[in-house]
A and B are shown apart, each in its own frame.
Chain A
């Protein structure tokens, strides 16, 4: 494996780095990240953070990297994945690269949208980009963040100026071709008082094996509000690793809903850090896996400053031989008095070969707090099924209805109608397939 890492990733890095005319600071960052990756490699199950997720299948595999911006995709294909509400506000990533030419930002006139290359040539944007890129997700977090950082090429910089309220949901459409490795990178900066809705959708265009390794950094200034929907529906043969980090300032709100349906092996690290007093973060999610899927969610809510509020509500439905992992951490730092943090993780095991490992954690350094967490693992209540059957429902229909109801709490949070109905449909289809 060592040999493979050295030869494959070092080699593609060498070619990729030689072609670019990025600014020096970025070249340095990329080089540092690569050497860090060469040093640590992919995480192993010995590492507490990766105890339940073995990434050897990713490490074993060799993928192809798009050195040039050549890949094409038809408008028709893209339109399959664009939501009704985002027809004039979607941004396309193909094999990890932001492709403005395939995107449509007509209703996003108030937003500054730039590929990293475009941003380097804009003095205002360049400054912010240099300041923020890599400041929220440290490449030293693990091998995946290091690898993503080493391959920062055509990322997306989204800048929402002060007090702008963006009505149209901004949809990021991620598509990756078979056999490819993709390193999408996004930086989203929201200025004071702005508001937006972001839909991050990873889609299944091809059914094969590919690997998406994304890093999304979000900075939300005072009084700004972001609704963030993340929907991962990649091919069931693919691998998916994403790290999302949002910094929340005074009075700002980060409200995220994370839906995991796809990929053979997926991992999502979601981090919310309170960088000032009085912020709010809602980090909710639903993972629905079956077959031989493996889904891992790691959340960290870091209460660094006083009087912030956080809520987490993660639900899981695990069927077949699938395995789900949830690890939720709440930190309350020494000065963070008045913290109000709650976390809940509920899991439904639908088959006797499914497996759930959950690890909710609290680390509290202050006494003036209200923190709680809860976790459950179980199956549907016999009594509830019996009740529905007594009303004339078939046993499996009763089960499906209850399972649907279990998941619905999370899906209902979504305020973009077409996305919500898409997910409803996906959920129902998944359940119908069981009948």
Chain B
């Protein structure tokens, strides 16, 4: 390994295909008319259009952020299609109405949408370009009061709920990309778990970008009422194009008293080829608010795709005794860039947060952990533990750690630890002398390195994530 670090053949990105269906797109470009058009296509109420326009006007005044630890070509926001949908019925009432081509696509991606074939205990919302095409188990969930539906539908069916919470965690002028998203967001999931309900199945959304020149601007809103619990998973893939596509999502989570939200992501957008051509720019704002006492929000992410990932799933720990968690594995290979981490803002008393971040960098990739732990003056007895480890494979990649710790209360206890190393020769040697091939040994060590994060994932996702890491790193260690 010491001398032979070379990149062998690269396993093809197996989700890189394009589904040949007719799409309805609106012309490229962004102005108030585009927004009115999107809003009209989605049959939205007036207040929603107002929300979008307000966000757009803020966005116009904002500047693209430049503080990331990387460079990328300037994005031409007028050269993006802000709405793309499969041409057919605007609203699907049942699976039979969905274009079979789309169903086949999701099946190919391993997400069968017919309920009989599904994993028995996972409800799925499938988002194809700008629209949600199918949501499974909707009825079953409705019986116990859980609302799980595309956000565009929720805006029509539960306007009060959406209006009350939308933009309350991530304000429309929060940052450049959040403002853009607020103006043009297409679809995403809406979850509402009523008081005292423990959601009986895991909710899941699968995002698929299909159209070449479109951007995806998903918007997810999850509300957990008092004493409720919900686990939500998302997965994403995109076809292989040689142009860069923008994915600027906003996710808002709200946990009230004693509620718990567990949010898991396996992100595998197309990462570009080995020379860094093409791939998704994944510029995402994810934030949860622990508003209630003893509420808990837990983010788990496995970031393996995208040309550039730039996101910081955060928790605002407002409620007394609330808990925030962040478990992350970020894998970058070839020319990929990841600048990711979290923010834990301790506002309430006795709040706790845990951060475990594992970065793996191979090829010429650049992997950055950037995090903020802030303890405000009123946050008595706040507690934070942060651990971020980086593993480097090859001598051309980069690993950075930028933790920010701001403590304004002396009863706080904040700990941060970070290490950076490569796979040790001894570990490899040990495994190899037990008859395990080098490739398997590396995969074993990496999975061990990530174990603390993987065990937070739902089982199916954990298995998928392990496989994914193996595939992504194939050939990096020679």
**Interface of A toward B, CB cutoff 8 Å:** 48, 52, 334, 337, 347, 349-379
Q: Which residue from chain B places its CB closest to the CB of A360 in the assembled complex?
A: B403
**A7 shortest CB reach to chain B, Å:** 33
Collect the chain B residues with CB atoms within 8 Å of residue A355's CB: 406-408
* Residue B413 is within 8 A (CB to CB) of chain A in the complex: yes
> Are B67 and A364 closer than 8 Å at their CB atoms?
no
9 interchain residue pairs of minimum CB distance: A349-B410, A367-B392, A367-B422, A362-B401, A378-B413, A371-B420, A372-B419, A375-B416, A377-B414
Contact B392 A377 (CB under 8 A): no
- Chain B hits for A375, CB < 8 A: 403, 405, 414-416
Q: Given A362-B420, A367-B392, A367-B393, 14 other A-B contacts at CB below 8 A?
A: A48-B67, A337-B395, A355-B407, A357-B404, A359-B404, A361-B401, A362-B399, A363-B398, A363-B400, A369-B421, A374-B416, A375-B405, A375-B415, A376-B414
Q: Decide if B447 is an interface residue (CB 8 Å cutoff).
A: no
Beta-carbon contact of A376 and B415 below 8 Å: yes
B407 in complex: contacting residue of A334, A351, A365, A377, CB < 8 Å: A377
Residues from chain B with Cβ under 8 Å of A360 in the complex: 401, 403, 416, 418
Residue of B nearest to A332 (CB): B420
Q: Which residues of B contact A357 (CB under 8 A)?
A: 404-407
**With A and B bound together, what is the CA distance between A202 and B238 in angstroms?**
61
CA distance A372 to B416 in the complex (A): 11
A-B contact list, 27 entries, CB within 8 Å: A334-B395, A334-B396, A347-B407, A352-B410, A355-B407, A356-B405, A357-B404, A357-B405, A358-B405, A359-B402, A361-B400, A362-B418, A362-B420, A364-B398, A366-B395, A367-B395, A369-B420, A369-B422, A372-B417, A373-B401, A373-B416, A374-B417, A374-B418, A375-B414, A377-B414, A378-B413, A378-B415
B377 within 8 A of A: yes
CA distance A368 to B423 in the complex (A): 9
Contacts of B395 in A (CB 8 A): 334, 337, 366-368
Whether B348 is near chain A, meaning CB under 8 Å from some CB there, is no
B212 within 8 A of A: no
Q: Is B272 an interface residue (CB 8 A)?
A: no
User: Across the two chains, which residue of chain A brings its CB closest to B394?
Assistant: A367
| Contact indicator B401/A354 (Cβ below 8 Å) | no
Give every chain A residue within 8 A of B410 (Cβ-Cβ).
Answer: 349-352, 354, 379
CB nearest neighbor in A for B420:
A371
Residues of B within 8 A of A372 (CB): 417-420
Q: Given the interface contacts A365-B398, A377-B414, A378-B414, does A359 sit within 8 Å of B421 by beta carbon?
A: no
Contact call B420/A361, Cβ cutoff below 8 A: no
A354: nearest chain-B partner, CB-CB:
B410
B411 is an interface residue with CB less than 8 A from chain A: yes
Q: Does B285 contact A (CB under 8 A)?
A: no
Chain B residue nearest in CB terms to A342? B419
A382 to chain B, nearest CB (A): 10
B418 lies within 8 A of A378 (CB): no
Q: CA A334 – CA B394 in complex, angstroms?
A: 11
Which B residues are CB-close (under 8 A) to A367?
Answer: 5, 392-395, 397, 422
Alpha-carbon distance between A367 and B393 when the two chains are bound, in angstroms: 6
Among the interface residues A347, A351, A378, which one has the most CB atoms of the partner chain B within 10 A? A378
Contact between chains at B412 and A378 (CB < 8 Å):
yes
Q: Which residues of A contact B412 (CB under 8 A)?
A: 349, 377-378
Write out the residue numbers on chain B whose beta carbons fall within 8 Å of the beta carbon of A362.
Answer: 390, 399-401, 418, 420
Chain B min CB distance to A397 (Å): 19
Give Cα distance in the complex from A377 to B401, angstroms: 18
- Asked if residues A356 and B407 are in contact (CB atoms below 8 Å), the reply is yes
Task: State A81–B394 Cα separation when bound (angstroms).
Answer: 53
Closest to B374 in A: A357
A359 to B373, CA, bound (A): 10
Shortest CB–CB separation between residue A297 and chain B, in angstroms? 14
State A88–B393 Cα separation when bound (angstroms): 55
Residues in chain B near residue A365, CB distance under 8 A: 397-398
A371 in contact with B407 (CB, 8 Å): no
Q: Write out the residue numbers on chain A whose beta carbons fall within 8 Å of the beta carbon of B406.
A: 52, 355-357
Q: How distant is B91 from chain A, measured CB to nearest CB, in Å?
A: 48
Q: How far is the CA of A371 from the CA of B422 in the complex (A)?
A: 10
- Bound-state CA distance A337–B392 (Å) is 12
Convert B146-183 into 0s and 1s, putting 1 for each residue whose CB lies closer than 8 angstroms to a CB of A: 00000000000000000000000000000000000000
The reply to whether the CB of B443 lies closer than 8 angstroms to some CB of chain A is no
B411 near A359 with CB under 8 A, answer no
Q: How far is the CB of B28 from chain A (nearest CB, A)?
A: 35
Is B34 close to A, CB under 8 A?
A: no
Question: Once the chains are docked, how many angstroms separate the CA of A99 from the CA of B421?
Answer: 50
CB distance from A132 to the nearest CB of B (A): 31
Asked whether A361 lies within 8 Å of B405 as measured between CB atoms, the reply is no
Distance, CA A354 to CA B409, complexed state (A): 7
Question: Which residues does chain B contribute within 8 Å of A349, judged by CB atoms?
Answer: 407, 409-410, 412
Nearest-Cβ distance from residue B478 to partner chain A, whole angstroms: 14
Q: Is the CB of A373 within 8 A of B405?
A: no
Q: CA A337 – CA B394 in complex, angstroms? A: 11
Contact (Cβ within 8 A) B390 A364: yes
Q: For the complex, what is the distance from the CA of A370 to the CA of B416, rounded to whole Å?
A: 17
- Contact partners of B415 in chain A: CB under 8 A: 374-376, 378
A306 to chain B, nearest CB (A): 11
Chain B residues in 8 Å Cβ range of A364: 390, 392, 398-400, 420
Contact A368 B407 (CB under 8 A): no
A378 to B384, CA, bound (A): 10
Per a CB cutoff under 8 Å, which of B400, B405, B422 touches A359?
Answer: B405
Residue numbers in A under 8 Å from B417 (CB-CB)? 372-374
State the CA gap A371–B415 with chains docked (Å): 17
A361, B402: Cβ atoms closer than 8 Å? yes
B46 to chain A, nearest CB (A): 39
Complex: chain B residue closest to A376, CB-CB? B415
CB-CB under 8 A from A370, the residues of chain B are 420-421
A367 to chain B: closest residue by CB: B392
How far apart sit A371 and B392, CA to CA, in the bound complex (Å)?
Answer: 11
Q: Look across to chain A and name the residue whose beta carbon is closest to the beta carbon of B391.
A: A367
Q: How far is the CB of B310 from chain A (nearest CB, A)?
A: 17
Question: Which residues from chain B contact A352 at a C-beta distance below 8 Å?
Answer: 377, 409-411
Bound state CA distance, A354 and B417, in angstroms?
Answer: 23
A353 to B410, CA, bound (A): 7
